[in-house]
Amino acid sequence: MATEAVAPAKINLTLHVTGQRADGYHLLDSLVVFTELGDHLWLTPSAVTSLQVTGPFAEGVPEDRRNLVWRAAELAGMPLNIRLDKQLPHGAGIGGGSADAAAVLRTCGGQARAAELGADVPVCLSERPQRMRGIGDVLEQVSGVPAFALVLVNPGVQVPTPDIFRVLARKQNPAMAERLHWPSRAAFLSWLAEQRNDLEAPAIATAPVIRDVLAALRHANGCRLARMSGSGATCFGIFESDAQAREAAAQIAAAQPGWWAHATRSIGSIEV
């Protein structure tokens, strides 16, 4: 019997580039959340591993060992028949293949070796808000992060992460505060508005349409904040209500039929 797993979209609410190591890897400080929207996988134990990719973004996704989910099955030590329903655009700064691979590891084991598949895979093992530092290897669960209505928009262009880092002019930028604490939802949103995605400007220089995406979100009714996620090109808008988010996504999709625009909700912290 197949086991269903969900690979939620990963959103970098903040992405501060704080340095670069001698080996070329960049140092980051990022607050990461996940969403109710994601890819779906069905995993069935099998004699040999196989992969079938379906869904609106199946085109161009490899169905062999080039796909991280295949390699995740190898790390888990469990041959699987995998069906992957791609609901999220790939190469879009929202986790994509890393989240898919993490879903396999989370379901079948092998989590301790997640970093072998890429710097973004370990953070995708949990759906709760996390602070990601170092090269993505220093993770910390974060309390006090509220859930909120979101609109995700991707203009249908890919901006390869190495290219964005290559044109990033300043590699030494301030980190977030050492201690993250917000007494209220309003305080969180005020703090978030003061943070940055240091890759946003170089991404816009590489793909100017990202500026148009941000403008569309910011002009939508109820949008509290719009920012690019990861290295792009997906941008997110935080909205006051689910209804306003759904309305904004529908209006943006109607105005720009070539863009991917979806309303969803983020997954907040578990408070104890």
Q: CA–CA separation, 226 vs 238, rounded Å?
A: 6
The stretches of the chain forming alpha helices (DSSP H) are 68-76, 97-108, 161-167, 185-193, 200-206, 209-218, 242-255
User: pLDDT per residue over 61-86, tens digit each?
Assistant: 999 999 999 999 999 998 999 999 99
Question: What pLDDT score was predicted for residue 272?
Answer: 45
1 pLDDT band (50/70/90 cuts)? confident
How distant, in Å, are the alpha carbons of 46, 174, 214, 223, 239 from that of 148? Answer: 39, 26, 18, 11, 7
User: pLDDT per residue over 194-233, tens digit each?
Assistant: 999 999 999 999 999 999 999 999 999 999 999 999 998 9
Does 208 appear as a known binding residue?
A: no
DSSP category for residue 125:
G
The answer to whether residue 267 scores a pLDDT higher than 80 is: yes
Q: CA–CA separation, 41 vs 205, rounded Å?
A: 35
Does 175 appear as a known binding residue?
A: no
The answer to whether residue 47 scores a pLDDT higher than 70 is: yes
Domains and CATH numbers, the chain: 3-141 (3.30.230.10), 149-267 (3.30.70.890)
Does 253 appear as a known binding residue?
A: no
139-167 average pLDDT score: 94
Does 96 appear as a known binding residue?
A: yes
Question: What pLDDT score was predicted for residue 271?
Answer: 64
Catalytic residues: 10, 120
Q: pTM value?
A: 0.95
Residue 272, classified by CB atoms within 10 Å of its CB into exposed (0-12), middle (13-18) or buried (19+), is: exposed
24 pLDDT band (50/70/90 cuts)? confident
